[in-house]
Every structure is written in C-alpha cells, then in structure tokens.
C-alpha cells in the first residue's frame, strides 16, 4: 500500500514539510540554540498580521512581541522548561499584532536536541490562536465576579436595611411607650389622669369580685381652693396642687392608685383595704396636708369621702356614694373624712 509520508529522498521530505508549514495557520518556530537563530513559518507572521519574514530571525523578535504584562510569566515557564524543572512547555500569552492590538495565543514547544553540557541545541514549537476562547473566558470571569459582588452587596444592603429597620422599630416602640405613659399622666401634677384611673378601677373591681377582696375608693377635694387662686394667683394654686400630690404619693402604698379626677379633685383606689382601713389612711393624709407648712399660703385643707366597693356596684354607683360622702364632709365644715 502506498504511504504519502514515505519520501524517496531528504529533499522530498523537506518539500513536504515546507509546504505544510506554508499552508497551516499555526505559527511554527524552530530555535537553533547553537547559532542563536529562530526560523519562523509563514503562519507565525500571518497570525500576527506581519509580512512573512518581516523580522530578524532571533529570539528578540519573539520577546518583543510578548505583552509586557505576560512577559515575566512566559519567561518563567520557558526557563523552567529548558532547565528541566518542568516537563512541558505550554503557556498562554498575548502577542503584539501589526495593528498594535494583542492576540491571545497558546505557545507549545519541545526540546529536540540538547548539547553535551545540557543546554538546548534545538527546540521546536508552535503558536496557536486561542484569542476567541480566552476573550470569552475572561468575559465570563468578569461577569461572574460582578454577579458575585452584586449578590454580596445585595446581601449586605439587605442586612444593613434590616438593622436600620430594627433600630427604627425600637425607637418607635420607645416613642409609643412614652406617648402611652404621657397620655396616662396629668401634665401638671405628674400623677395618673382620670382616663387611666377609670381603666384601672374597672380592673380592680373585677379583681375584687374574683377574690372577694375588699376595695375602697377615696375622693378628696381641696377646701376653698378658689380663694387661694383668687388671693395668691393661679401659679401659686398650681404649686399647691403639686405639693399636695407629692404629700399623698409619699404616704400611700405602691399598690394604691392615686389620680387627678379634675380641677382640685383627686381620687385614690385602695385595693384590699376595707372602708375602716381606708378611712384611717385618709385621716392620716388629711392631717399631713393640713399640718403642712407652706410659705405661699396659710394652711391648706382637704375634705374626704371614703366608700367601699359593694358586690353589684357599678363604677357609677360607687362614685355616687363617694361623691355624696365628700359632699357631707364639705357640708360638715370641710377638713374632714366621711365614710
């Protein structure tokens, strides 16, 4: 059988080889280490857009076309191969084209012969155009990086927003607590207001019914307060209201609820106290207030009504009773406790 690669002479073989080198796109190079000469195939020049044979046949031609950023890496690989540190010479890098742009190639080479001292006598290799592949690959890496960074920054953004939201929610919660407590407090005397008192009284009535515990309501009113206002002025009147509230607050239990009913009228819930016990406490308060010395006016006195909750009582009926008792106290000369 006839084999096309069996040549009759060396000249024949050379002709075949040169023809192949002429037509292939790969850029073949052949380095003669002894004569420091590099022969390059027409494909080598064509690949980079140069006229065939445009450069000198030395290694500097090669080094001059390597991209400056790739140069050190290429030389490192080349050096490692020719000194026997690595077994394969195969490296991807950019080569300068005739129009100034760069082309990604893969360069592979094999040592064909060594000198007796181990240096390279001949090395043959080829450049292959891998530009499209590398550009596409780099594009993909770039997009992946952007995507990862994008995802990361999105996660960070969500985390940051969540923290901001949690902070704002906490502030809002605090504000709500503040607003709620403000809405339950009388602005002048800083004790509970009527709205809060009514809610608490309802709860205490339910509790008293559930456990059959006593519950007593006290209402007191400053005596002739209008005169104090008229004589000393509204500001002094305000200060006296506040002073009375301080005295009462300091002399009742924590479980008792003291509130401003309106104007110069005040109420106290005494949970678990009978009428008699609440009467005693009210008497103590009456005395404390009347004995209290103030540079602003002569003695301040208060009249008290004391009514114990009876099963079946509504808030209204309880208030009617306590109101009547307070009225009695006023009628009987003021500065008294009626139960």
Ligand X SMILES: Nc1nc2c(ncn2[C@@H]2O[C@H](COP(=O)(O)OP(=O)(O)OP(=O)(O)O)[C@@H](O)[C@H]2O)c(=O)[nH]1
In the complex, the residues that contact ligand X under the rule CB under 6 A are 188, 221-226, 229, 234, 237-238, 241, 263-264, 330, 334
For ligand X, the closer CB: 222 or 245: 222
User: Residue 329 Cβ, how far from ligand X at the closest point, in Å?
Assistant: 10
Q: Determine how β-strand 102-114 pairs with β-strand 265-271.
A: unpaired
Element (H, E) at 110: strand 102-114
Residue 289's alpha-carbon distances to 80, 205, 254, 303, 335, in angstroms, are 104, 29, 19, 11, 10
DSSP assignment letter at 50: P
For ligand X, the closer CB: 237 or 305: 237
Q: Is 235 exposed, middle or buried (0-12, 13-18, 19+ CB in 10 A)?
A: exposed
Q: Determine how β-strand 302-308 pairs with β-strand 337-338.
A: parallel
User: Residue 305 Cβ, how far from ligand X at the closest point, in Å?
Assistant: 12
For ligand X, the closer CB: 95 or 244: 244
For ligand X, the closer CB: 51 or 238: 238
User: Residue 239 Cβ, how far from ligand X at the closest point, in Å?
Assistant: 8
Extract the tokens encoding 145: 């990086």
User: Residue 236 Cβ, how far from ligand X at the closest point, in Å?
Assistant: 7
User: Residue 269 Cβ, how far from ligand X at the closest point, in Å?
Assistant: 22
For ligand X, the closer CB: 213 or 334: 334
User: Residue 222 Cβ, how far from ligand X at the closest point, in Å?
Assistant: 5
Spatial distance between the Cα atoms of 300 and 294, rounded to a whole number of angstroms: 9
> By Cβ distance, which residue is nearest to ligand X?
237
Spatial distance between the Cα atoms of 204 and 255, rounded to a whole number of angstroms: 11
- CB of 24 within 8 A of CB of 41? yes
For ligand X, the closer CB: 191 or 205: 191
Extract the tokens encoding 326: 């307070």
């Amino acid at each position: 059988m006839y084999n096309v690669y069996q040549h009759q002479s060396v000249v024949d073989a050379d002709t075949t080889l040169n023809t192949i080198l002429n037509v292939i796109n790969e850029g073949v190079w052949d380095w003669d280490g002894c004569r420091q000469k590099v022969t390059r195939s027409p494909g080598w020049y064509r690949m980079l857009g140069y006229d065939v044979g445009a450069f000198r046949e030395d290694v500097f031609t090669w080094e001059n076309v390597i991209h400056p950023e790739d140069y050190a890496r290429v030389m490192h690989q080349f050096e490692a191969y020719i000194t026997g540190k690595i077994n394969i010479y195969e490296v991807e890098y950019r080569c300068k084209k005739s129009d100034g742009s760069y082309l990604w190639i893969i360069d592979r080479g094999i040592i064909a012969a060594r000198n007796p001292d181990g240096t390279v006598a001949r090395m043959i290799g080829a450049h292959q155009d891998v530009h499209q592949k590398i550009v596409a690959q780099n594009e993909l890496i770039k997009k992946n990086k952007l995507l990862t960074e994008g995802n990361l920054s999105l996660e960070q953004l969500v985390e940051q927003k969540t923290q901001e939201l949690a902070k704002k929610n906490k502030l809002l919660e605090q504000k709500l607590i503040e607003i709620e407590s403000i809405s339950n407090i009388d602005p002048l005397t800083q004790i509970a207001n009527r709205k809060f008192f009514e809610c608490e009284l309802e709860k205490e009535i339910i509790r008293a019914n559930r456990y059959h515990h006593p519950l007593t309501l006290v209402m007191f009113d400053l005596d002739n307060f209008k005169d104090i206002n008229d004589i000393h002025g509204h500001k002094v009147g305000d200060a006296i209201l506040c002073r009375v509230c301080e005295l009462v607050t300091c002399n009742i239990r924590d479980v008792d609820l003291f509130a401003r009913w309106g104007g110069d009228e005040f109420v106290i819930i005494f949970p678990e106290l009978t009428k008699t016990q609440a009467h005693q406490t009210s008497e103590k308060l009456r005395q404390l207030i009347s004995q209290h010395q103030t540079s602003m006016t002569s003695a301040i006195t208060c009249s008290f009504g004391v009514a114990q909750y009876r099963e079946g009582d509504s808030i209204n009926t309880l208030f009617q009773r306590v109101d009547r008792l307070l009225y009695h106290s006023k009628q009987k000369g003021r500065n008294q406790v009626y139960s």
